[in-house]
Amino acid sequence: MTKFTKMGKCSQVIIVCIAGFGISASHADEIRLQTQSDFGQLDPAFWQSSADQTIIDAIFPKLIEFKSGSNWEWELSAAETIEQIDPLTINFTLKKGLMWTGDYGEVTAEDVEYSFERYIDKDLAAPNSGDWAPLKDVEVVDKYSGVIHFNEPFAPVWWSTLPYTGGAIISKAATEAIGGTFSTEPGATAGPYKIEKWDQGQQTVLVAHEGWNGEKPAYDRVILVPINDAKSAEVAFEAGQIDVSGVAVSSVPEMKANMPVDSILEVRPTAGYFWLGLNAENPSLQDVRVRQAITKAVDVDAIIEGAYFGIPERSTGLVAPGLIGYSEEQQPNRDIEGARKLLAEAGISSLDLELELQNSTDEQTTGLIIQANLAEIGINVQLNTHESGTFWSLGDEKGVGMQMTLKAFTSPPDPAWSTQWFLEGQAGIWNWEWFKSEEYEKLHYAAISETDFGKRAEIYHEMQDIMDASHSFVWLIHPPASLIYKDSINPGLLPNGDYKLHAFAPAE
């Protein structure tokens, strides 16, 4: 044996020996999940990212919560009963025996009162105050019962407030003891899980909370691993280091063709929406015929095929499938001749426009397809690619100077959160189309107050029709959430692919 062969053997043995220690595969009662980022804010009135949301939903109780599955339906959680008495009143009774961590005793109606009323506390200045904007107060009837009073009817309370992160209940005593607010270290928690350890940037370890009075979670420990690069997350999954991971849409076809062993791939539409926006205030796009020509010339099916591998369905508006107000009526199909005719009527033979977009692969491919589509009708498109921080500041930087933008918004499962960005007051802030419609404004507020499901759906259909009539929007897709997980796991997922940690269980 030569010296080099010996050295080679030696290093191989060392690597194998080292590899034998500290293998990070999950134990039977433990599950490791990838999150896109680390959490940063656990105060429900201040949460920002989906990682914040995932942990808040696991460590704080809620009166009601969404069921895992493919439909947006809620079920009782900390509440034993809850009932809308009239459009301005909701009665609730808590289950007994739900305990806070530490020495803070039971979860009571006073905690509910404190948790919800702090949203409307001007001194707290919570960025998520909109979750409870019409709240008047919460009346404590006894230790376990209370009444939620509203100043005006508030339909989203059953969709994007109570069962969502805004419905999280925090401990009054524990929070007051730490000054009335917190970021990463709540005074006490009472959800199905509690935080055992947080190594910032590396992992968050949650363990089952012994004071939880609901169904015991199937996994005693949940380890959340922040990996923001989708490809790295896929690699970590394939290397067996995590059990559930997000998958880049671009990886889905390849993964389907070469599925890692004992794995399941799942793709779900989210409540978010991705569209091409045309700024009606920009001099080059003020003529509605020009905007209409662009909407006719863009080949949405080619974008879905070319940039998203045919995975998502074509979007019909800003309301995603499964949500109240979803419309099945698509925008008209591509019509190049019609587009040319409209441009000719507008007296335009050639036009230079700029398209602002982010630097992800799928958005850049979308931009290239739009560029090619519009070239066919004599519009030269310059693609301005930005990283996310720069892109989202364009409203301030460019103002009315913006012409076309590719934008994706996420949304809680209530259309009111989507429609609010296109109010006139949002022009230049988040409404980069400078879309303005008095009728739309009236309908937006009417829909929030409308507690009749059918009538509310009708209002949202009408609002989407008004948006389409402006020819400022080309609806593309509802960005899909793709996940891969081991087939030994039955994942606890909300309809949009978000984790519901205490619903994860071993597959039967």
Partner 1 sequence: MIGYAVQRIGVAILIVLLATTALFVMIQFVPGDPANVMLGPRATPELKEALRERLHLNDSVFVQIYYFFAGLLQGDLGVDLTSNRPVVSILAEQAPYTAMLVISVLLVALMGIPIGTYAAVHRGGSFDQISGVISVSIIAVPPIVIGLYLILVFAIQLRWLPAIGAGEGFWAVIKHLILPTLAIGLTWIGYVSRLVRASVIEVLMQNHVKTARAFGIPENKILRRYVLRVALPATVTVLGVSIGFILSTAVIVEILFSRPGIGKLTYDAVISRNYPVVMGAVLASTVFIVVATTLSDLLNVMLDPRSQDINS
CB of 444 to partner 1, least distance (A): 16
Other Cβ atoms less than 10 A from the Cβ of 364: the count is: 16
CB of 342 to partner 1, least distance (A): 33
Closer of 15 and 372 to partner 1 (Cβ): 15
Tell me the C-alpha distance between 289 and 286, whole Å.
Answer: 9
Closer of 27 and 216 to partner 1 (Cβ): 27
Closer of 77 and 115 to partner 1 (Cβ): 115
Tell me the C-alpha distance between 131 and 118, whole Å.
Answer: 11
CB of 200 to partner 1, least distance (A): 6
CB of 29 to partner 1, least distance (A): 18
Beta 74-76 vs 145-150: how paired, if at all? unpaired
Closer of 75 and 229 to partner 1 (Cβ): 229
Say how many CA atoms lie within 13 Å of 265 toward its Cβ.
19
CB of 442 to partner 1, least distance (A): 22
Positions that interact with partner 1 (CB under 8 A): 15-16, 18-19, 21-22, 24, 37, 40-41, 48, 125, 127-130, 183-184, 199-203, 225-229, 232-233, 235-236, 238-242, 387-390, 392-393, 396-397, 421, 429-430
Tell me the C-alpha distance between 193 and 202, whole Å.
Answer: 19
Q: Which residue has the tokens 């015929």?
A: 289
**Sheet with 145-150, side-by-side order of all strands:** 79-86, 89-94, 145-150, 135-140
CB of 239 to partner 1, least distance (A): 4
CB of 23 to partner 1, least distance (A): 8
Q: Report the 3 state secondary structure along 115-172.
A: HHHHHHCCCCCCCCHHHHCCEEEEEECCCCEEEEEECCCCHHHHCCCCCCHHHECCCH
**Residue 93, SS3?**
strand
Per-residue DSSP letter, 502: G
Say how many CA atoms lie within 13 Å of 308 toward its Cβ.
24
Closer of 162 and 370 to partner 1 (Cβ): 162
Other Cβ atoms less than 10 A from the Cβ of 480: the count is: 21
Nearest to 499 by CA among 196, 52, 30, 41: 52
Closer of 198 and 460 to partner 1 (Cβ): 198
Closer of 124 and 466 to partner 1 (Cβ): 124
How many Å separate Cα 333 from the centre of its chain?
Answer: 28
Closer of 54 and 213 to partner 1 (Cβ): 54
Tell me the C-alpha distance between 274 and 134, whole Å.
Answer: 29
Closer of 108 and 204 to partner 1 (Cβ): 204
CB of 116 to partner 1, least distance (A): 17
Tell me the C-alpha distance between 480 and 304, whole Å.
Answer: 11
CB of 173 to partner 1, least distance (A): 21
Residues 234-254: b if buried by 16+ CB within 10 A, e if exposed = bebbeeebbbbbbbbbbbbee
**Residue 226, SS3?**
strand
Closer of 77 and 189 to partner 1 (Cβ): 189
CB of 395 to partner 1, least distance (A): 9
